[in-house]
Amino acid sequence: MRRSSFVAPILLIAVGALLLARTLYPGLQLMDYVARYWPVILIGWGLLRIVEILTWSAAAKPLPMRGLSGGEWVLIVFLCLFGLSLHTVRGVANWFPEHIQVDGLDFFDGGERYEYPVSGEKASSHAPHVMLGAGAVGLMNGGAPPQKLTSCSWMRSLSGSAV
Amino acid sequence: MNTNNVTLWRSIRGPVMLVTLGTLFLIDHSGGMGFGRTWPVLLIVLGILWLGDYLGHRKA
């Protein structure tokens, strides 16, 4: 008879509780927590399995040849890939290199970063007019000073000089 | 498959490796030493578990 394990149901309950917390509290930054603390799942999984095996050993039951099956290892690999990807995407990774260069080609970075100022100016019309926006109405006064916009943007260049 | 001769060391090898892996990733994500520097701990833990398995078989 195949021996059942209580690790999988407990992990399923934990995942369900996390998703339920997300639906009940939409403001909860769940993905940030998952991106930072996903290795706790591995630790909990391993500890639960150790407790399970020690229980079998104390009850003089035959022990499994492998503490974790092949399918579980595959699931662990996928979990690690997901966790590391999420950790990198959320911007909290400190291991991912900024530059990976092979024969002068820069991978994962796309060249050097150059910042340049952006500015614009638009003259106001002399006649007063009404502006309709999304859910708001505004009255623009005529003869107002021209509107100026200054900002900063950036681009990447492979050739080593910004165009 | 005869599982009666399996030692406890061999059975807990996978789960202990999993706990070690998770701990190293957690240290990395918490701003401690990076996984790139701590991964040899996995080899050390695996060696200890293999050694325990070997000694367990010798006792039996």
Q: Compute the count of residue pairs across chains A and B with CB atoms less than 8 Å apart.
A: 99
Given A46, A72, A95, which is nearest B19 (Cβ)? Answer: A46
Residue B9 has a pLDDT of 85
Prediction ipTM score: 0.80
| Residue boundaries of the structural domains of chain A | 7-89, 100-157
Residue A40 has a pLDDT of 92
| Residue boundaries of the structural domains of chain B | 9-59
Does A55 or A163 have the greater pLDDT score? A55
Output the average pLDDT for chain A: 75
pLDDT, one tens digit per residue, over A58-115 is 888 888 888 888 888 998 999 999 988 888 887 665 555 555 666 666 655 555 667 7
- Grouping H, G, I as helix, E, B as strand and the rest as coil, residue A156 is strand
pLDDT, one tens digit per residue, over B3-51 is 455 788 888 889 999 999 999 999 998 888 888 889 999 999 999 988 8
Beta strands in chain A (DSSP E): 100-102, 105-107, 112-122, 129-132, 137-140, 147-157
Residues in A closer than 8 angstroms to B4, CB to CB, are 62
pLDDT beyond 50 at A162? no
pLDDT beyond 50 at B2? no
Residues in A closer than 8 angstroms to B1, CB to CB, are 65
- Global confidence as pTM: 0.61
- Nearby residues of A140 by Cβ (< 8 Å), 6 or more positions away: A124, A125, A128, A129, A130, A131
Q: Beta-carbon neighbour count of residue A50 at 10 Å?
A: 18
pLDDT, one tens digit per residue, over A2-54 is 566 777 888 888 888 888 888 888 777 788 888 888 999 999 999 999 998 89
Instruction: State how far residue A62 is from chain B, nearest Cα, in angstroms.
Output: 5
**Bridge partners of A116?**
A153
- Percent of chain A residues topping a pLDDT of 70: 63
